[in-house]
Amino acid sequence: MARKYFGTDGIRGRVGEGHINPEFVLKLGWAAGRVLSRGQGGKVLIGKDTRISGYMFEAALEAGLAAAGVDIRMLGPMPTPGIAYLTRTLHATAGIVISASHNPHEDNGIKFFSGDGNKLPDAIEEEIECEIDRPMTTVSSGQLGKAQRLDDARGRYIEFCKSTIPSKWDFHGLKIVVDCAHGATYHIAPDVFEEIGAEVIAIGAEPNGLNINDGFGATKPRALASSVRVNGADLGIALDGDGDRVIMVDERGEIVDGDELLYVIARSRLDNGGLSGNVVGTHMSNLGLEVALRNLGVGFDRVAVGDRYILERLVDQGWTLGGEPSGHIICRDRTTTGDGIVAALQVLAEVNKTGRSLGELRAGMHKFPQELINVPLGTARASDVMANPAVNDAVSVVESDMGGDGRVLLRPSGTEPLIRVMVEGREAEVVAAKANSIAEVVRAQLPG
């Protein structure tokens, strides 16, 4: 079934445009309440990041859910993985996140977790879409849902994060910089790392509703790198606006991406017998990660881009570890979804256990040069471009030229009107030239 409202990660867009408006979100809350509760009431948690529009959408969701006869627990600003955790441990019917993740404040979105803390199956999202298109009704006054604020949500999640590493380990003497992207982790992440004993310098921790992801966070780690160097810190941790991504910086101020962090965690799990099955990445994962894991005797599976597809493979196979270069890292032996704080704690635990710096730990993986070019589609359809014979021929020529020493990936963006051209190989100049050659062919097929 073609999706009318839901994308790869909920519903997202520019505030006030398309479906990201109070009227639609009211209807969405009502439809979700009806589908998820199956007419049996229950309770749904609502959390949000720090965008100013979150207040508006929080109120709309609350009204819609109440009209469907569902009780509501308001969490306030809370990282996406924290909402997943609380949904599961509070035995809620579902959890709703108001966030556009790493996007600027002008955007917002709505995504859902089922009662077990996982993303909703496609079939349930399709049911919600069908319900949205029906006339909205309201249960009788005596059956209306009630809303309460959960005052201890922050403390519960902090304790959970700390529980994912051994409590006996002492992190005193470790100086770290924590970048919260002026987002949902601003009042949580610094406390987590301070409470395990580290000296914490917090940046990007003063949200004003408009500055989320603005110059800070996992998608803009230069501020973190600079702060690590200036403060002589041992490492830095950058989270994104809703806390489900993490990028780190080593003691030299060099950026350590999700692939490298995944390697560090995988090696740690392998050493202590805690790695189950293969590691799962995506078509965007660096070939160097695959090679490094192979050298450790660990299998590597690739799935479509998106943490939901990583999680699906992990669940289907009973495996425990996967992630993306962007910093979505899923430790299924610790939690049900990508969690930036939890992933960072696993890396810190390996630093603590081995006595080695993050720079030393990452050295076992050598990244292959990778060139990524985003080609705007304009009025063209991604499916037409992907099926174009000239484009496919260009890809085939590059793949043949590179043989077994590289990869080519051509895919439409899941969130923007773009075709992403990625080429990866051993020599940076060759990789760049090959990526540009494909991108030029793609551009030549676009109208206008």
Enter the tokens of residue 412. 């439409």
Pairing, β 43-48 against β 94-98: parallel
Residue 101 designated active-site = yes
Question: Nearest 5 degrees, angle CA 243-CA 284-CA 369?
Answer: 110
d(CA 394, CA 35): 46
Sign of the torsion angle spanned by Cα atoms 182, 184, 187, 188: negative
The rounded distance, in Å, linking the Cα atoms of 352 and 347 is 9
Burial of 293 (0-12, 13-18, 19+ CB in 10 A): buried
* Pick from 311, 321, 327, 328: nearest CA to 114: 311
Widest CA span of the chain, in angstroms? 70
Q: Which two tokens stand for residue 22?
A: 């109070």
CA 92/CA 114 separation, integer angstroms: 8
Q: What's the number of CA atoms in the CB half-sphere (13 Å) around residue 261? A: 37
| CB neighbourhood size of 276 (10 A) | 14
Q: Which helix (H) or strand (E) holds 175?
A: strand 175-179
Q: What is the 3-state secondary structure (H, E, C) of 17-72?
A: CCCCCHHHHHHHHHHHHHHHHCCCCCEEEEEECCCCHHHHHHHHHHHHHHHCCCEE
Instruction: Please choose, from the candidates 52, 57, 51, 32, the residue with its C-alpha nearest in 3D space to the C-alpha of residue 42.
Output: 32
Q: For residue 120, what is the DSSP state?
A: P
Alpha helices in 148-257 (DSSP H): 153-162, 189-195, 222-231
Catalytic residue, chosen from 53, 101, 268, 326, is 101
234 secondary structure, DSSP code: S
Residues taking part in catalysis:
101
